[in-house]
Amino acid sequence: MRYTAINIGPIIGTITMARKPRELWSASYLFSFLMECLIKELKVKEKTILSPASLDKVQKVGLYPDRVFVEDTEDDELEDILSNALKEFTQVTGIGRDYVNIMYVSVESKTGVDVIKDLNRYLDCTELVNRPVDDKSRMNVLNLIQEKNNSALFKRAFGNPNWNFPFLAEIATDKLSKTGEEDKKVLWMKYRDEEREKENNSENPEKIEDEFYQKIKVDFKEEYRSYYKYICVVQADGDNMGKIVSALSNKRVKDLSTALMQYGCKVSKMIEEYGGVPIYAGGDDLLFFAPVVSGKDDVENIFQLLSQIDECYQVGVDKEIEKIGRPKDEKGNLIHTTLSYGLSISYYKYPLYEALRSALDLLFGKAKNVVGKNAVAWCLRKHSGSGFTGVFTKDDSAGSIYQLFKLLMTFTVDDGLVSAISHKLRANEDLLNMLRDVNDENRIAAFYDKIMEEGNSGYIELTRRLLWTLMNDRTGDGQVETGDILSKMYGMLRIAKFINGEGDSDE
C-alpha cells in the first residue's frame, strides 16, 4: 500500500513576524486552518487519515499540527486535493500558494510498519529546502496577522472579526478581575476596556500598557505585586511520543491521534480558566501565555497549572495508550509518555520573540536533556536585569526536589532572609564541599544550626532539606559542583519568593 505525508509551512518564518500575542495566535491559527482545509478535502475523497484526528466544531485555538499522514493516495488525485484545500483557504484568508508551502512524500509498504517514522524522516529532509517568498506575499501575511479589526481569522475562530484579543498586561493582571471586592473587579474591567479601545486606535501599544499599569498601581495599591508586570510563556512537548508512534500499528496511531486531539481541547479550556491564552495545542505540543498567579482557587500559580496539565495529559493520553496497547522499547521496557516544559517568565516589555525563543531553548536545550525527561526548565528574567534559572524533574513524591520547591512557594518571607541564606551558604562553600564528601545529613543539620541564627525556623528547615536533597540528586540536569548546587538553590528560593509575592520596589 502507498502511504503519504503532507507538510505545510513556512511556520517558523511566519511566527517570527509576530510582535504581540494576537499576532502570534494569528500566525499559528493560519496554518492550523490550512491543515483543517486539507483534512476536510481528504475526507471528501474518503481517504483514510492516520493522523491527526479531526474535529467537526470550530475551535478557538490551533489544534492541527503541520503534518498529516494518509493511506492510499496517487499523485494526480493528491494534487486535486491540495488544490481544492488551498482554494478554500485562500477564499477565507487571502493567502495563496505564492506564500504557503505544501510538500508531500510517499512510500510503499506491504505491512505499514515504520511508515510514519520513515515519512517523518523524509519530510525532515524536504524542510531543509527553503523556498523564496517575495516581499509582496510576505507583506500580505504580515497584514493578516497584524489585523486588529475585521480579521478573517478572528471571524472564523471566535465568530467576531473584531474580537478583543487579550493584551499582555491584561493577561498578567487577570487575577485582579477574579479576586477581592466586587467594585475592584469592575474597576479592573473598566480599565481593561479603556485600554482595549485605545489599542485599537493607537500606533504605540506599549504606551497604552504603561498607562494601564499606572492606573492599576494607584487603585490596587494594597493588592499590587511585582508579578503583575510579568508574563509566562510556556512551551511543552510530549516525551517519548516519537518512539510510541513508531511502535504502534496504523489502527492504534489513529486511536492515539483521537486521544491527543481530545487532550488539546481539554487543556486549552484549562489554560483559559486559569487566565491564560492558548496559542497552539496540536498533538503533544503546547504553547501558551499565562499570568504568574491566578485567581482560580485550586490552581493559584503557574507551577500548579503545569501540574494540572500533567494530570490531564496522563489521564487523557498516557492511560489511553495503556488501553490501545502500550508498546515496548528495544530492551523490552514499556514506553510511557510524560510532558516536559520550557517556562520563560519575563517583564511585559521584554521582546515577545526573545521570550518565545527562551521558552523553546529551555524546553529542548535543558528539560529534554534531563535523564528520564518529565522535567520543567524555567527562567525568571527580572526588569532590573538580574535573572534566575533552573531545571528539575517533576517527581512529586515526598521529599523530592519538586515537592520541596512547591512547599517553598507556601512561605511568605522577607527578601533579606532569602539573601542571607544564600550569602551564608556561599561564604561556607569550602566547608560544604567537605561535608559532601562525608555525606551525612546530621552533619548538614549541625552546619545549618551553626550558621543560620535567625528568621523563619520552618522556612530555614525547609531550605536545609532542599540543600541536602540537591546535594544528593543524581538525576536533575547533571550539576555536581557545590557552587552549581548553590546557584540552583538560590534560583529556586528567588522564584518561589517572586511567585509568593514581592512589592513593587522589587521589580
- Which tens digits make up the pLDDT trace of 346-356? 999 999 999 99
Do residues 223 and 176 make contact, with C-beta atoms less than 8 angstroms apart?
yes
Q: Which run of H or E residues covers position 375?
A: strand 375-381
Asked whether this chain's domains 1-163 and 166-394 adopt the same fold, the reply is yes
Q: Alpha-carbon distance 385 to 469, whole Å?
A: 30
Cell numbers for 98: 505564492
CA-to-CA separations, 395 to 113, 229, 374, 500, in angstroms, rounded: 34, 30, 8, 22
pLDDT for 357 equals 96
| pLDDT tops 60 at residue 98 | yes
Instruction: Provide the pairing of β-strand 339-347 with 285-291.
Output: unpaired
Task: Determine the average pLDDT of the residues in 384-405.
Answer: 92
Instruction: State the residue for C-alpha cell 495545542.
Output: 281
pLDDT more than 70, % of the chain? 96
Strand ordering across the sheet containing 67-71: 48-51, 67-71, 2-9, 101-108
SS3 of residue 99 by DSSP: coil
Q: Is 291 exposed, middle or buried (0-12, 13-18, 19+ CB in 10 A)?
A: buried
pLDDT more than 90, % of the chain? 77
> Which CATH homologous superfamily contains domain 1-163?
CRISPR-Cas system, Cmr2 subunit, D1 domain, cysteine cluster (3.30.70.2220)
Task: Determine the average pLDDT of the residues in 191-201.
Answer: 83
Q: Alpha-carbon distance 310 to 304, whole Å?
A: 10
Q: Alpha-carbon distance 317 to 267, whole Å?
A: 12
| Stretch among 106-115, 297-306, 415-424 having the lowest mean pLDDT | 106-115
| pLDDT tops 80 at residue 328 | yes
CA-to-CA separations, 104 to 53, 74, 81, in angstroms, rounded: 19, 11, 12
Task: Determine the average pLDDT of the residues in 118-140.
Answer: 89
pLDDT for 72 equals 84
SS3 of residue 340 by DSSP: strand
| pLDDT tops 50 at residue 288 | yes
Q: Alpha-carbon distance 402 to 396, whole Å?
A: 6
pLDDT for 473 equals 85
132 or 468, higher pLDDT = 468
477 — pLDDT class (breaks 50, 70, 90): very low
DSSP secondary structure code for residue 147 in this structure: -
Q: Alpha-carbon distance 217 to 160, whole Å?
A: 32
Q: How many Cβ atoms are within 10 Å of 86's Cβ, its own excluded?
A: 19
Instruction: State the residue for C-alpha cell 478554500.
Output: 88
Task: Determine the average pLDDT of the residues in 447-465.
Answer: 86
pLDDT for 202 equals 60
pLDDT for 178 equals 87
Task: Determine the average pLDDT of the residues in 68-96.
Answer: 93
166-394 topology per CATH: Alpha-Beta Plaits (3.30.70)
3-state secondary structure 278-339: EEECCCCEEEEEEECECCCCCCCEHHHHHHHHHHHHHHHHHHHHHHHCCCECCCCCECCCCE
pLDDT for 206 equals 67
Q: Is 180 exposed, middle or buried (0-12, 13-18, 19+ CB in 10 A)?
A: middle
Q: How many Cβ atoms are within 10 Å of 204's Cβ, its own excluded?
A: 10
pLDDT for 128 equals 76
SS3 of residue 133 by DSSP: coil
Q: Name the residue ranges covered by the structural domains of the chain.
A: 1-163, 166-394, 407-507
Q: Which residues are paired to 6 by β-bridges? A: 68, 104
14 or 126, higher pLDDT = 14
Cell numbers for 412: 511568605
Q: Considering the chain, what is the average pLDDT of its residues?
A: 92
Cα three-residue angle 229-377-282, rounded to 5 degrees: 85
Do residues 31 and 149 make contact, with C-beta atoms less than 8 angstroms apart?
no
| pLDDT tops 70 at residue 503 | no
Annotate 138-159 with b (16+ C-beta within 10 A) or e (fewer): bebbbebbbbbeebbbbebbee
Do residues 169 and 195 make contact, with C-beta atoms less than 8 angstroms apart?
yes
